[in-house]
Structure 1
Amino acid sequence: MTGHIVTFGEVLLRFATPAARLTVQCDALDMAVGGAEANVAAGLASLGHDVKMLTRLPSSPLGDKARAALAAAGIDTAHVGRANGRMGLYFLESGAGL
């Protein structure tokens, strides 16, 4: 059974260390579009639900990248607003071990 779902919230860019390395061991970081709300929306879309995202992204290449990633995940981006501003970021350092 599928449904119509509207999600709203902040879309973030995640910068992560590659290959379980520490930040101080890296010269570059991997970038991915995510954030809790966007991840839930993508998961629901992958299960066949009609998902729309209501959010605002910056009018910049990073905003373009985020919108394209949402659309590629099967999320309707017709209600994604664009404005001057900044993109939310977070950093993930997986490291090794516990």
Structure 2
Amino acid sequence: MSQKDTHLFDSFRESVAPALKSKLEEFDLYGYDKVTEDELWNFLKNKTWKKVSEEKPIHQIVNDILTVKVGDYMNYVTVEAFKAPNWFEGEGKDVLEKLL
């Protein structure tokens, strides 16, 4: 499922916005101030709720948000970065060689 696909819990996003904001403030306290609400939401959709096939009560969704660990999020982001295309292959390689 791509990040642009509609997820089962997308309809709850506005309702759980205060929990997302609270978690982002916690990330900020740990020095991760560049994490956006969209990035956190995508982590939840693609990792925490990846195999969930039916709706959860809103209190469980809020619990899922508030129990995200910074380390789990950072591991996810690191793995996703390794899955991304290599910018230094193909056309990117030509650009890099011209710069050097």
TM-score (norm. length: structure 1):
0.24
- Greater helix proportion: 2
Pick 1 or 2: higher relative contact order, CA cutoff 8 A, min separation 6: 1
